[in-house]
Homo-oligomer: A and B are copies of this chain.
Amino acid sequence: MTETKLISAAMLIIGNEVLSGRTQDKNLAFVGNALGEIGIDMKEVRIVPDDQAEIVGAVNTLREKYTYVFTSGGIGPTHDDITADCIAAAFGVKLEMHPLATQLLEAHYEAQGIEFNAARARMARIPEGASLIDNPVSTAPGFRIGNVHVMAGVPKIMQAMMENILPTLEGGEKLSSVTITAQVPEGSIAAAMEKLQGDHPEVNIGLYPFYGADGAGVSVVARGRDVAALAEVEAAVKQQFDDMGMPLIQRPPPAEFLKG
């Protein structure tokens, strides 16, 4: 039996507007999927307001507990952008004007004929000892300190930063998954799936119900790192639906798939 390396991640989404329900977060889906592709499991997400004590507390808890932490939001030029201050406080280091960041921002604004004022210069304030994360969209960099990656909240910018971060991460063994869907209410296969889960503890078997024009259905999602075991589970689930005389169907759109 080979040893499997498990690498974990957490995300901290910073912003009053996400909490209030006014803004729909789109960053978790991008980060979760991108990490999954390289075998890193997203294990926890916290969403906190623009409040120093809350941000510092969450960063310090998450960076202790998981291999990597990713934050989004609060690194713009305005007074409510306090993430850099909070990360410096969490690590107990100074926040300093970073020479390269300053130079990049100055050149960026000069090229556009926009004043490089004190507010914009705030975006060059980087915790001591951090490395910059390139922002090809709007220049103001993110940064990495320890195992914490600090990114913008605007999805286009966050995604570009994440693309730059991905090659620097140590990936784990990739989790494979199979999805088997049929127009069967989940309660009808619950006992069989519980037994199957018991027989294959190395595979994670989740049931995701949906309700459509044709009534209740279920997607069985099996995930694991042991591909032989995964294939056995897949075959057993297909057999289960076949024994019930129910054909497999294509998966409906993801929006229908929230957990019941």
Contact = CB atoms under 8 A, between A and B. Distances in A.
B17 A21 contact: no
Interface stretch (A22-30, A95-103, A124-132, A241-249): A22-30
Given A78-B194, A211-B154, A187 B19 contact: no
B15 A190 contact: no
A47 to B, nearest CB: 4
Nearest to A185: B114
Contacts of A33: 20-22
A21 B28 contact: yes
Contacts of A197: 79-80
Interface of A: 14-34, 36, 41-50, 54, 72-81, 114-115, 117-120, 122, 137-138, 152-158, 185-188, 190-191, 193-194, 197, 204-211, 221, 223, 254-255, 257-260
Given A27-B258, A76-B187, 11 more contacts: A15-B258, A17-B206, A23-B254, A44-B48, A76-B186, A78-B190, A80-B207, A117-B188, A117-B191, A119-B191, A120-B187
